[in-house]
């Protein structure tokens, strides 16, 4: 099953990348309006994300519940896309944020159901991968 998923993902990715390199994906006509000092804002958002991820890992391990790590990291990464949507003037990042936050909440529900840590990692990891891949696919095609 994982090989089939990999083959499909590679084919769809090639379907986005090849037109982009050939210049046949169509011109990007939308002007991006970056706020003043946007790069400083991006640096602050990413630094906060990094600190929050380390805090999730430390708190989960200190409390003896490392199974919360994937859920917490997914939530932190999802939340950090909200300000990035504005800073990069990429509205689709709001959907990335919403969907990653939803994946984290699904992971929390799976965790509350008493499943194994491996199942939680699979649900959250695969869900986050699909969301991030779809987001990058959209940006590659639409700009």
Residue 106 has pLDDT above 60, yes or no: yes
Q: Output the pLDDT for position 43.
A: 92
How many other CB atoms are there within 10 angstroms of residue 61's CB atom?
12
Q: Are 83 and 125 in contact (CB under 8 A)?
A: no
Q: Categorize the per-residue pLDDT at 89 as very low, low, confident or very high, splitting at 50, 70 and 90.
A: confident
Distance CA 87, CA 75 (A): 19
Q: Output the pLDDT for position 33.
A: 77
Residue 25 has pLDDT above 70, yes or no: no
Enter the pTM of the model: 0.81
Write out the two tokens for 30: 């939308």
Helices (H), the chain: 2-22, 38-62, 69-87, 92-112, 117-142
Please indicate whether residue 10 or residue 64 has the higher confidence score (pLDDT).
Answer: 64
Q: Are 67 and 120 in contact (CB under 8 A)?
A: yes
Longest dimension (CA), the chain: 53
Q: Categorize the per-residue pLDDT at 99 as very low, low, confident or very high, splitting at 50, 70 and 90.
A: very high
Q: Categorize the per-residue pLDDT at 4 as very low, low, confident or very high, splitting at 50, 70 and 90.
A: confident
Q: Output the pLDDT for position 143.
A: 63
């Amino acid at each position: 099953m994982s090989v089939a998923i990999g083959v499909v993902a590679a084919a769809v990715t090639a379907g986005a990348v090849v037109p982009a390199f050939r210049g046949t994906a169509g011109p990007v006509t939308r002007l991006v309006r970056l706020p003043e000092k946007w790069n400083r804002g991006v640096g602050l958002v990413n630094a906060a994300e990094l600190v929050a991820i380390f805090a999730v890992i430390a708190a989960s391990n200190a409390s003896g519940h490392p199974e919360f790590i994937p859920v917490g990291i997914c939530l932190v990464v999802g939340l950090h896309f909200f300000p990035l949507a504005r800073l990069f003037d990429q509205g689709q990042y709001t959907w990335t944020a919403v969907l990653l936050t939803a994946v984290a909440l699904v992971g929390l529900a799976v965790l509350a159901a008493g499943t194994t840590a491996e199942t939680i990692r699979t649900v959250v990891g695969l869900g986050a991968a699909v969301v991030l891949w779809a987001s990058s696919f959209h940006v590659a095609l639409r700009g």
